[in-house]
């Protein structure tokens, strides 16, 4: 069989025989199903002329840059002929190609690796400074998550992500969870909860564990992570995450799953996140009053990243900036994992309070002005457009007219300060190129006009707006960036973002020195 010819840039080489079925090969050389080939618009081409580059056909997002003929003929989905296996190419071949005719080739990127998720029904609870959101979703083995119940309430008893009034917080959480349970017709016993209280801090640990030339097993991986958790313990703070970023077996680094390797020493690089012990106790006590157990505590910027980042961004490097109501949270991703996180005690509520203070108006009026007329960029029309503002004047309602430019002049300095703090945190994170990559904005405060442009100038990075993704069934009202954290919590509960999910890293360590020695020997015998 002759080797297929390499196409010229911008051209495709045609098969000699037209109107014949074609086969489609993916990036990894595995033949795609017949239906996929037909849906991708696999072409039977008969004449030799230049072809133009167009976007992929609808419904085929994994094939960008597919070449299309000006008047393509769709190939039938049956009787497909095997095309030559070539790594990293999309092959369009006819049965005549098997006899030696040239094959049409077009370069395509590697496919997105879908993460395996756990099946079942899960609950997610996001306790924010402005709203409390509960989502109930169901995941199947194919990796699809569908929301079957949702509820949210205006936040009460919560400030800067922390519980400040147990009674108010309990009532609000009960109302939000009750809404979701009624819609889903499912009673929640436990929920995956977003962590934004207790001043969470992020650190990196390198931990070594002797294996003695034997095969690395689940117990070794669990032990090295448990040792890292033990070393990371600090008085007055509880560990929330000990995320394995990568492993090394002796001198071989970059091992994702060390099980099955022979080595003398196993090394784990762990990303550890902890928070104030008392803040976490108050959070758990509030949920216990709502008859809810905490299935897992999840760092909220990690959840936001799972919701708004693409697989490529998580792998190549991206920073999520979640502009919430009371806080701004940062998460840096790279190599598929979260590498760093930080929290800033400033958010959209501070912008609202700035407007209320400068214009002597109520917080409700200030929030309305911010949402309807707020902008981070000044335009020429803003000086000529005047807005009515209700003043605080006792029982009588008094109104004043202020130019829209005044609203922008109040909003902009606070946002500039916020992004300057974000820039300083990223520059001082010490994680290299990952922190210098693109930025994805999410959270309610990111919806103001002009925020991405302002962020791009101050941060000196490419910036885009992020919206909740990866799950279906969300209503339009819950598809805004303000619901990214809740969506990501649901994805985490189903197994997304978890390293080696088949190992229980939360297994308690045996108490006492003798029991630890016995357990160590038992695992080695």
Q: Is the pLDDT of residue 131 over 70?
A: yes
What are the Cα distances from residue 128, in Å, to 22, 60, 116, 155, 451? 53, 37, 29, 7, 21
| pLDDT higher than 60, residue 321 | yes
Which residue in 309, 301, 243 sits closest to 485, CA to CA?
301
Q: Considering the chain, what is the average pLDDT of its residues?
A: 77
Structure confidence by residue, pLDDT tens digits, 447-482: 999 999 999 999 999 999 998 877 888 887 777 888
Strands (E), 361-479: 386-391, 398-403, 438-442, 463-465
Q: Are strands 67-68 and 89-93 parallel, antiparallel or unpaired?
A: unpaired
Identify the residue whose tokens are 């080939």: 37
What pLDDT is recorded for position 114?
46
Q: What percent of the chain has pLDDT over 70?
A: 73
Length of the chain: 525
Mean pLDDT of 369-374: 92
Question: Which residue from 108, 96, 7 is spatially nearest to 46, judged by alpha carbons?
Answer: 96
Q: Out of 35-44, 233-242, 299-308, 373-382, pick the least confident.
A: 35-44
Do 68 and 51 contact (CB within 8 A), yes or no?
A: yes
* Overall CATH class of domain 201-275: alpha beta
Do 280 and 298 meet the contact criterion of CB atoms below 8 Å apart? no
Which of 38-47, 65-74, 226-235, 393-402 has the highest average model confidence (pLDDT)?
A: 226-235
Phi, psi of 366 (to 5 degrees): -65, -40
First to last CA, the chain: 56
CA distance 68 to 65: 9
* Contact of 228 with 268, CB cutoff 8 Å: yes
In what helix (H) or strand (E) does residue 252 lie, and over which residues does it extend?
strand 252-255
User: Whole-angstrom Cα distance, residue 192 to residue 127?
Assistant: 11
Query: Rounded to whole angstroms, how far apart are CA atoms 219 and 240?
Result: 21
Token pair listed for 188: 């929640």
* Least confident piece of the model among 76-85, 218-227, 252-261: 76-85
The Cα 128–Cα 195 span in angstroms is: 9
Confidence of residue 395 (pLDDT cuts 50, 70, 90): low
Residue 523 clears pLDDT 80, i.e. is over it: no
Q: Is the pLDDT assigned to residue 244 strictly greater than 70?
A: yes
Whole-model pTM: value is 0.72
Looking at residue 74, the DSSP 8-state letter turns out to be: B
The helix/strand/coil state of 303 is helix
Residue 407 has pLDDT above 90, yes or no: yes
- Identify the pLDDT of residue 7: 38
Residues 128 and 482: their CA atoms lie apart, in Å, by 10
The domain ranges of the chain are 201-275
Mean pLDDT of 54-74: 38
Secondary structure of residue 417 in the 3-state scheme? helix
pLDDT digits (tens, 9 = 90+) for 258-302: 999 999 999 999 999 999 999 999 999 999 999 999 999 999 999
More confident residue, 515 or 328: 328
Residue 419 backbone dihedrals phi, psi, to 5 degrees: -70, -30
The confidence band for 43, taking pLDDT boundaries of 50, 70 and 90, is very low
Please count the CA atoms within 13 angstroms of the CA of 432 that sit on its side-chain side. 6
């Amino acid at each position: 069989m002759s080797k297929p010819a390499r196409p010229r840039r911008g051209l495709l080489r045609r098969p000699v025989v037209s109107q014949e079925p074609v086969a489609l090969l993916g990036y990894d050389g595995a033949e795609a199903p017949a239906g996929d080939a037909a849906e991708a618009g696999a072409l039977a081409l008969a004449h030799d002329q230049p072809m133009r580059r167009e976007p992929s056909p609808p419904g085929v997002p994994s094939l960008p840059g597919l070449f299309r003929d000006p008047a393509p003929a769709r190939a039938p989905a049956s009787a497909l002929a095997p095309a030559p296996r070539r790594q990293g190419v999309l092959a369009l071949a006819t049965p005549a190609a098997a006899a030696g005719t040239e094959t049409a080739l077009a370069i395509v990127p590697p496919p997105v690796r879908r993460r395996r998720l756990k099946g079942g029904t899960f609950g997610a609870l996001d306790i924010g400074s402005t709203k409390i959101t509960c989502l109930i979703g169901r995941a199947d083995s194919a990796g699809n998550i569908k929301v079957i119940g949702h509820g949210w309430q205006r936040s009460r008893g919560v400030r800067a992500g922390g519980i400040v009034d147990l009674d108010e917080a309990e009532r609000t959480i009960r109302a939000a969870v009750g809404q979701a349970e009624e819609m889903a017709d499912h009673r929640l016993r436990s929920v995956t909860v977003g962590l934004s209280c207790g001043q969470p801090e992020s650190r990196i640990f390198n931990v070594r564990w002797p294996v003695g030339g034997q095969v690395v097993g689940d117990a070794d991986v669990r032990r090295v992570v448990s040792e890292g958790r033990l070393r990371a313990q600090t008085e007055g703070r509880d560990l929330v995450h000990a995320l394995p970023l990568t492993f090394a077996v002796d001198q071989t680094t970059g091992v994702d799953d060390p099980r099955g390797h022979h080595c003398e020493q196993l090394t784990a690089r762990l990303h550890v996140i902890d928070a104030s012990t008392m803040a976490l106790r108050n959070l758990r006590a509030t949920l216990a009053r709502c008859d809810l157990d905490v299935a897992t505590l999840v760092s909220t910027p990690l959840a936001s990243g799972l919701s708004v980042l693409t697989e490529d961004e998580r792998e190549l490097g991206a920073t999520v900036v979640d502009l919430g109501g009371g806080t701004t949270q940062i998460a840096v991703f790279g190599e598929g994992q979260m590498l760093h996180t930080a929290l800033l005690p400033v958010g959209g509520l501070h912008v609202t309070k700035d407007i209320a203070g400068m214009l002597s108006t109520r917080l409700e009026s200030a929030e309305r002005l911010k949402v309807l007329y707020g902008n981070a960029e000044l335009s020429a029309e803003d000086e000529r457009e005047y807005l009515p503002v209700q003043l605080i004047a006792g029982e009588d309602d008094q109104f004043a007219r202020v130019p829209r430019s005044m609203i922008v002049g109040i909003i902009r300095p606070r946002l500039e300060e916020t992004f300057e703090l974000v820039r300083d945190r990223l520059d001082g994170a010490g994680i290299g190129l990952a922190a210098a990559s693109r930025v994805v904005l999410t959270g309610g405060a990111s919806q103001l006009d002009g925020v991405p442009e302002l962020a791009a100038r101050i941060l000196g990075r490419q910036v885009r707006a992020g919206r909740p993704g990866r799950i279906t069934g969300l209503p339009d009202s819950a598809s805004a960036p303000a619901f990214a954290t809740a969506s990501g919590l649901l994805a985490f509960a189903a197994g997304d973002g978890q390293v080696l999910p088949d190992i229980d890293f939360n297994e308690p360590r045996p108490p006492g020195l003798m029991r630890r020695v016995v357990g160590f020997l038992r695992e080695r015998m």
